[in-house]
Amino acid sequence: MRDRKSSDISNHANSANPEPRAAPTHMPLEWDTPMYRLAVNQLDQTAELMNLDPNIWERLRTPQRAHVVSFPFRRDDYNTVETVFAYRVQHLLTMGPTKGGIRYHEDVNLGEVTALSMWMSWKCAIMNLPFGGAKGGVRIDPHTLSGDELQRLTRRYTSEIIEVIGPDRDIPAPDLGTDERVMAWIMDTYSQQKGYAVPGVVTGKPIEIGGSHGRSEATGRGVISCATEAGRSNDISLDGADVVVQGFGAVGGTAARLASAQGAHVVGLSNATGGTYNSKGLDIAAVSAWTKANGDGLADYPEGDAVSNQELLELPCDILIPAAIQNQITEKNAAALRCRMIVEGANGPTTLEADAILADRDILVVPDILANAGGVTVSYFEWVQGLQQFFWSEEEVNRKLIDLMQSAYHSVDQLAKEKGVTLRTAALMRGIERIKQAKHVRGVFP
């Protein structure tokens, strides 16, 4: 293991055959959290296997720009003013504008947002989209906010990051805790400041202001498309399969509905409050109608048995779809899972230790950066449609999405077989390789 040569620094293009070296051991403290470490460890393991140019490896370990803001936020009672922390992290500016969602969650921190921005970089590169990764977050529990509070918070956060976003610069989208309403307010706040309508500043916005058909269901549709392809190559037909879905939001809800439409029995389903299990299969439309009428408590659903979120993950099934939050499949429960295949709808649901246990147990994992890339893929379609002012039908969007997901899946699967690695490692290799090539041809300024 050798340190990089000084000539390598002057231009990446001069370092076609770099010496491998040990991963740098220091961690930048500002964003050193468990989730950031997971993203960096995944990168390090893959870079080592790829014999990645150490100069590029080092560049990819940290975000290019990280914006930390705090601002005053007034609750409806007009007495309380609290200080809210928020972030926008741009990991990679090499490939085009940066792209990635904004999440509202009480645990959001710089490390989490940074990890998510790195995963966005790999995701966009795997799908061949002309974007680098970004992510934003506001540290607040959105469930405690009235509609007015949510709007005020969104407009203030937008004005705090207004200088770093834009249709050619950095394009936010929905993520955990945000939706198309929030995107409309971001678009409006940005446009008010510019003095004209700028729909291209966000994706995942309502159709009325330039949103794309099929965007709200795109992540879930991509997940099911990956489950179908992975099932095909591994003798698990979705038709007749027992499926468990953790999460009943935009991703989990759509995945459950589409799986069931393809003949799967969705035997387990949960949201943040708990879950429900029925070995004969749940009627997804009935569960939806029930939660609308009775509130979120899925555990009380009368046509199933109550299960906790942890119990849900360990239910016997063919396909497990974690589609809620990070850090769900860990060294504590990986040995107890009773599924044949995992398709990750959430970002970062599986830890590194769990990944190794699952690989030992021959449980196939379709990784997040591939399985949930349908969302950003249709975001790309939305951005392109907006630039051209030429809008596609829902059928066309879905067809193009499924085509891209299928070919990405097969290209990653083929690489995994060629290299004898997991799908996660192959997906990382594919993404990182594309970024490396772009960095090599651009060189180093000045």
**Residue 35 sits in the site that holds ligand GLU (CB under 6 A):** no
Residue with tokens 């940074």: 114
- Compute the distance between CA of residue 221 and CA of residue 187 in angstroms, rounded to an integer: 26
**Residue 242 sits in the site that holds ligand GLU (CB under 6 A):** no
Angle at 347 (CA atoms; ends 408, 53), nearest 5 degrees? 65
Judge whether 93 and 132 are in contact, CB under 8 Å: yes
Helix (H) or strand (E) holding 47: helix 34-50
417 among known catalytic residues: no
Least distance (Å) between residue 377 CB and ligand GLU: 8
Least distance (Å) between residue 175 CB and ligand GLU: 4
- Compute the distance between CA of residue 258 and CA of residue 40 in angstroms, rounded to an integer: 33
**Integer Rg of the chain from CA:** 21
Nearer to ligand GLU, 211 or 304 (CB): 211
Burial class (CB in 10 A: 0-12, 13-18, 19+), 362: exposed
Helix (H) or strand (E) holding 157: helix 147-161
The residue number whose beta carbon is nearest to ligand GLU equals 101
**Residue 268 sits in the site that holds ligand GLU (CB under 6 A):** no
**Residue 203 sits in the site that holds ligand GLU (CB under 6 A):** yes
Judge whether 48 and 432 are in contact, CB under 8 Å: no
**Which segment (38-46, 63-71, 99-107, 274-282) binds ligand GLU by CB under 6 A?**
99-107
The interface with ligand GLU within residues 54-93 (CB under 6 A) comprises none
Please give the single-letter amino acid code of residue 147.
Answer: G
Judge whether 105 and 327 are in contact, CB under 8 Å: no
**Residue 370 sits in the site that holds ligand GLU (CB under 6 A):** no
**Residue 158 sits in the site that holds ligand GLU (CB under 6 A):** no
The interface with ligand GLU within residues 377-416 (CB under 6 A) comprises 379
Nearer to ligand GLU, 268 or 374 (CB): 374
Given its phi and psi angles, is residue 52 left (phi above 0), alpha (psi -120 to 50 degrees) or beta?
A: beta
Least distance (Å) between residue 42 CB and ligand GLU: 16
**Which segment (23-31, 52-60, 320-328, 371-379) binds ligand GLU by CB under 6 A?**
371-379
Catalytic residue (choose from 99, 123, 135, 205):
135
**Interhelix angle 374-388/218-233, nearest 10 degrees:** 130
- Compute the distance between CA of residue 176 and CA of residue 324 in angstroms, rounded to an integer: 8
**Which segment (50-58, 235-243, 372-380, 423-431) binds ligand GLU by CB under 6 A?**
372-380
**Which segment (46-54, 95-103, 310-318, 393-401) binds ligand GLU by CB under 6 A?**
95-103
Least distance (Å) between residue 422 CB and ligand GLU: 21
Binds ligand GLU by CB under 6 A, chosen from 100, 222, 231, 275: 100
**Residue 223 sits in the site that holds ligand GLU (CB under 6 A):** no
- Compute the distance between CA of residue 260 and CA of residue 37 in angstroms, rounded to an integer: 36
**Residue 99 sits in the site that holds ligand GLU (CB under 6 A):** yes
**Residue 97 sits in the site that holds ligand GLU (CB under 6 A):** no
- Compute the distance between CA of residue 75 and CA of residue 344 in angstroms, rounded to an integer: 36
DSSP 300: G
Binds ligand GLU by CB under 6 A, chosen from 376, 412, 428, 435: 376
The interface with ligand GLU within residues 311-350 (CB under 6 A) comprises 347
Where in the sequence numbering do the catalytic residues fall?
Answer: 135
* List of residues contacting ligand GLU (CB under 6 A): 99-101, 173, 175, 203-204, 347, 372, 375-376, 379
